[in-house]
């Protein structure tokens, strides 16, 4: 092994892959069979980068050679950068040796498009196949589905990979046309549709025959870049909601655009990464998936943008004061989940604990409720509760006054005159 050459390739191809934010290694049920190597189940973050993101998988490109010229991408054809390509064996060796040392949960393999879609996809599949069949590797494998690859290759990919993903790149078709004129949204949706149908089919098959092979057990995900094109949060979340509903996606990732290239269609190079907006989008995404919120309750024609100062749940609550206060000792779970300052775990604990006795503020605090936020919206087993007739704006001011958002330290919010 030529250590220097591998190191150089790894640096180039890991660097080019890092803008793909997904690093999930959960949701698969792959067991270690016949004393092979590894398993995949709940997902473990083995390390964290200095920007605070989880490192769970060996996330690399097979190559950063690419025939496309997408404006937002570092690997675009017209960008003058160093190019490199791994061989199949090199990726396999790296994966196995990192895995055996407990550095990673598995491999996340993506690639620039060289020659054509099938040629690229075939290489990705070959690596997954080799790991599974020749090395008895049961760790997690996430493969990119290359838009335009043939159904046969996608089928094979699903048999070896735990998760497959196609990046939508831009939240809307118009955004994509603007920045990636060579790419076609339909080409991305086709493999998604194909895999969705195939996953459902294989699941039914597995119910009948236990020995039926697993097919992409961790499902599909996608990623959209935000802040590179002028879409509103409403457009972003509506689009995410559509993909969750129509394609059973496990996750939609929102990647705040990191200005890496000068292009008049893109934000200037010195623009800040929209990290607060990204964070708010994830919070909204969680509300849709775990808190029973409908996308239109979070963003709509009147509120096309998420409030950057406060989280979307608090923002919804102060727009809907008529729904509060609720009695924590009586209300249904789905209402308790809507209270700012109460998360899913605390809500479940409340439901369990109140069967024994009525809960008071102290107990709620111990259970993990953030009482300084929740107190404006609930009553409990106590004579103390918010008696003033506060408006939503009052509450927002009170809460903002006592909590300092980690992101907004040096950026006081703009005066809101209306």
Partner 1 sequence: MTTLLYDGTFEGLLTAIFEIYDRKLNMVKLEKVEKYGSAMFEDVLKVITNEASAGRVLKGLRLKLSPNGLQRLYVAHMAEMPGEENNLVGYIRYAFDCKQNIEDDYGNRYVMRVSEIIRTVRREKHRMEAFVRFQKLKDGVYYAAVEPDFNVLPLLIRHFKSRYADQKWIIYDLKRNYGIYYDMHDTEFITLDFSTITKPGEIISAYTEDESIYQSLWKNYFHSVNIPARKNTKLHVRHIPRRYWKHLTEKI
User: Which one, 189 or 353, has the nearer CB to partner 1?
Assistant: 353
Question: In the bound complex, what is the minimum distance in angstroms from residue 244's beta carbon to partner 1?
Answer: 26
| Token pair recorded at residue 388 | 């003033």
**Cα(134)–Cα(165) distance, rounded to whole angstroms?**
24
- Closest contact distance (angstroms) between CB of 260 and partner 1 is 9
Parallel, antiparallel, or unpaired: how do β-strands 57-61 and 106-110 relate? parallel
Report the DSSP pairing between strands 251-256 and 220-226.
Answer: parallel
Concatenated DSSP letters for 162-215? SEEE---BSSSHHHHHHH-TT--HHHHHHHHHHHHHHHHHHHHHHHH-TTSPP-
> Taking the complex as a whole, how short is the minimal distance between the CB of residue 291 and partner 1, in angstroms?
20
DSSP state of 132: H
CA atoms of 321 and 175, how far apart (whole Å): 36
Nearer to partner 1, 78 or 352 (CB): 352
Using the minimum distance from each CB to partner 1, give the nearer residue, 31 or 203: 31
Nearer to partner 1 (CB atom), residue 67 or residue 371: 371
Contact 72, 179 (CB under 8 A): yes
Q: State how far the Cα of 88 lies from the Cα of 94, in Å rounded to an integer.
A: 10
Pick the closer one to partner 1 by CB: 209 or 356.
Answer: 356
Please report, for the chain, how many H helices and E strands are present, in that order. 15, 10
* Token duo for residue 317: 């609550």
Binding site for partner 1 (CB under 8 A): 1, 3, 6-7, 10-11, 14-15, 17-19, 31-32, 35-39, 44-55, 58-59, 94, 97-98, 100-103, 136, 256, 258-259, 273, 275, 349-350, 352-357, 359, 363, 366-367, 406
| Residue (40 or 179) nearer to partner 1, CB | 40
User: Residue 57 CB, nearest distance to partner 1 (Å)?
Assistant: 10
Cβ of residue 282: shortest distance to partner 1, in angstroms? 14
Beta-bridge partner residues of 85: 63
Minimum CB–partner distance for residue 18 and partner 1 (Å) = 5
Instruction: Provide the token pair at 322.
Output: 């008529």
3-state SS class at 369: coil
CB of 3 to partner 1, least distance (A): 5
Instruction: Write down the least CB distance from residue 45 to partner 1, Å.
Output: 6
Q: CA dihedral defined by 191, 196, 197, 203, rounded to 10 degrees? A: 140
CB-CB contact of 163 with 221 (8 Å): yes
In terms of CB distance, is 273 or 400 closer to partner 1?
273
Q: Is the peptide bond before 325 cis (omega within 30 degrees of 0)?
A: yes
Q: Which helix (H) or strand (E) holds 12?
A: helix 3-17
Q: In the complex with partner 1, which residue's Cβ is closer, 138 or 220?
A: 138
């Amino acid at each position: 092994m030529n250590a220097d050459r591998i190191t150089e390739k790894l640096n180039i191809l890991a660097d080019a892959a890092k803008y793909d934010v997904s690093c999930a290694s959960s949701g698969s049920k792959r067991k270690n069979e016949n004393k092979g190597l590894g398993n995949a189940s709940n997902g473990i973050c083995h390390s964290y980068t200095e920007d605070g993101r989880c490192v769970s998988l060996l996330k690399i490109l097979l190559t950063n050679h690419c025939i496309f010229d997408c404006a937002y991408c570092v690997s675009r054809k017209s960008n003058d950068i160093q190019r490199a390509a791994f061989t199949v064996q090199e990726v396999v060796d790296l994966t196995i040796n990192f895995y055996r040392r407990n550095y990673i949960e598995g491999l996340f393999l993506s690639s620039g498009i060289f020659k054509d879609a099938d040629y690229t996809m075939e290489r990705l599949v070959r690596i997954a196949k080799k790991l599974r069949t020749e090395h008895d590797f049961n760790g997690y494998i996430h493969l990119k589905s290359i838009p335009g690859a043939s159904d046969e290759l996608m089928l094979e990919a699903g048999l070896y990979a735990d998760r497959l993903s196609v990046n939508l790149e831009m939240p809307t078709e118009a955004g994509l046309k603007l920045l990636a004129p060579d790419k076609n949204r339909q080409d991305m949706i086709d493999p998604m549709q194909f895999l969705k149908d195939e996953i459902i089919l294989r699941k039914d098959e597995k119910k009948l025959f236990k020995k039926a092979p697993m097919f992409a057990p961790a499902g599909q995900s996608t990623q959209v870049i935000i802040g590179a094109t002028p879409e509103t949060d409403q457009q972003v979340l509506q689009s995410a909601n559509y993909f969750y509903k129509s394609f059973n996606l496990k996750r939609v990732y929102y990647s705040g655009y990191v200005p890496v290239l000068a292009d008049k269609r893109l934000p200037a190079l010195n623009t800040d990464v929209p990290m607060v907006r990204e964070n708010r989008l994830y919070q909204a995404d969680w509300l849709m998936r775990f808190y029973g919120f409908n996308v239109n309750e979070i963003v709509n024609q009147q509120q096309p943008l998420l409030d950057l100062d406060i989280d979307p749940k608090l923002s919804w609550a102060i727009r809907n004061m008529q729904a509060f206060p609720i009695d924590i000792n009586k209300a249904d779970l789905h209402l308790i989940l809507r209270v700012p300052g109460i998360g899913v775990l605390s809500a479940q604990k409340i439901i369990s604990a109140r069967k024994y006795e009525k809960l008071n503020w102290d107990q709620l605090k111990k259970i993990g409720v953030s009482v300084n936020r929740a107190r404006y919206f609930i009553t409990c087993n106590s004579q103390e509760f918010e008696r003033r007739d506060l408006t939503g704006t009052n509450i927002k001011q009170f809460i903002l006054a006592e909590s300092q958002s980690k992101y907004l330290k040096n950026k006081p919010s703009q005066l809101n005159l209306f």
